[in-house]
Structure 1
Amino acid sequence: MSLVLYGHPFSSYTQKALIALYENDTPFEFRCIGPDTPEHAAEWLRRWPIARFPMLLDGERQIVETSLIIEYLQLAHPGPVRLLPADPMAALDVRFLDRYFDLYVMSAMQLAVDTALQRYPMTVEKGRAIASERLERAYVWLEGHLAGKTWATGEHFTLADCAAAPSLFYADWVHRIPETYPALRAYRARLLARPSFARAVEEARPYRSFFPLGAPDRD
């Protein structure tokens, strides 16, 4: 087996890569980075001292940054589910939505989490309030964008949906998607029902106590 993924099941970005792997039943070895596997952490840090996961190894080739990992998988290990369209303009739309979910949903959610972990010099309440304001703005745009769509860019599941699934999953824990956004709420529900993401969610379930703001009793 040539593919190895370093990461943690509860990590949103690790889940993003796992979704792509599961969508195409791509064989790989998962090496969990945690206190019980110091050898995995040591090898990961030796290869990538920036200390961000996931990291994909294909033989001796190393790929980091989740969007690039998913594009690499399509190039080097393609499967029946094409996560980036062949048409360049359609691919540009997918890349935009991928960036939208990472930068405006995931990053906003992460601000609240990082504040709770005391990584920023502000109160937990202040960090969550800023995150909620940013997420609300992101939700407004998504509600309009998703009207009439099954997935992020239309009828096909893509890289953008790999980004959307963990982004919206955790964002909803920080700032609940209001009922006034029915298209967005329905989209999140479809993502949770997608077998690839449902599998990632179940694999992460034992680690929910890690969520510093307290994981809600749902999902």
Structure 2
Amino acid sequence: MTIALYGHPFASFVWKPLIALYERGVSFTFKMIDPDHPENQARIAALSPTGQFPALIDGENEVTQSNAVIEYLDLFHGDGAPMIPEDPRQALKARMMADVFDDYIHVQTQRIVGDALRKKEERDPRGVADAHALMDRCYAWLEPRLRGKEWAACGRFTIADCAAAPALFYGDWVHPITDCYPALAAYRARLLSRPSVARVVEEARPYRSFFPLGAPDRD
């Protein structure tokens, strides 16, 4: 039975399992979540505690949360190198870096974008300023740790890079990676040239008009 991934091509957290699926050559069916597919919207509402995506269905197994989906794929699907290294010490490093990209760039980007979707009287300028400040601190933390490295952890492409790709793609749109961070900018460019990442970027391209702050004319 072919597994099914529920999500939307423009949704940043959906990129993470999509990248892993493409990296590991896993066959799957994509279940679009949008108004044209109410049956999928109803299914994701039952699958996820908040109705958020991604979620994966594999027979009787239901998996939510992007990192959990990636780990599930490592265990049960695909022939490529696992996204979580088998060595527990290396696995710890990969998971740690994935959490850094998720918590301090990805989530902060969503805070900024989410605020732009609110009515003017409901916006939170202090929260947006705090998100920008946290992203800048994270950029500064990442810069020396990425110098001389091709990928974020363990000397190869891992779950950390699955997390970094959407975080830095959209993060640079809302909080630009300036010339102060050349190693980070070069790493982002390497990610975007990776075939699995380039594929999700292209699949999301038709939906750029959805970006409330205006998608830049690049990438």
Shorter chain as denominator, the TM-score bin is over 0.9
Q: Distance in 2 between matches of 1:107 and 1:178?
A: 20
Q: Distance in 2 between matches of 1:99 and 1:148?
A: 21
Q: Does 1:30 align with 2:30?
A: yes
1:113-144 CA-partner distances (Å, limit 9, x unpaired):
11111189754765543322111101000001
* Alpha carbons 2:25, 2:78 under 8 Å: kept: no
2:157 paired residue number: 157
Q: CA RMSD in A?
A: 1.7
Q: Does 1:48 align with 2:52?
A: no
1:210 paired residue number: 210
1:73 paired residue number: 73
User: What SS does structure 1 have at the residue aligned with 2:62?
Assistant: strand
| Counterpart code for 2:181 | Y
Change (3 A) 1:79 1:211: same
Cα deviation for residue 80 of structure 1 reads 1.8
* Alpha carbons 2:25, 2:80 under 8 Å: kept: no
* Alpha carbons 1:116, 1:124 under 8 Å: kept: no
Q: Does 1:87 align with 2:80?
A: no
Q: Distance in 1 between matches of 2:43 and 2:69?
A: 18
2:58 paired residue number: 58
| Percentage of pairs with the same residue | 52
Aligned residues: 219
Q: TM-score, normalised by structure 2?
A: 0.95
Q: Distance in 2 between matches of 1:175 and 1:73?
A: 32
Cα deviation for residue 82 of structure 1 reads 1.9
Query: Unaligned regions of 5+ residues in structure 2, if any?
Result: none
1:10-57 CA-partner distances (Å, limit 9, x unpaired):
001101110000001100000010011111111221333421100000
Change (3 A) 1:127 1:205: farther
* Alpha carbons 1:33, 1:41 under 8 Å: kept: yes
**Structural mapping, 1:129-148, within 5 Å:** 129-148=129-148
Q: Distance in 1 between matches of 2:76 and 2:121?
A: 43
Cα deviation for residue 182 of structure 1 reads 0.6
Cα deviation for residue 154 of structure 1 reads 4.2
* Alpha carbons 1:128, 1:174 under 8 Å: kept: no
Q: TM-score, normalised by structure 1?
A: 0.95
User: What SS does structure 1 have at the residue aligned with 2:5?
Assistant: strand
Change (3 A) 1:156 1:120: farther
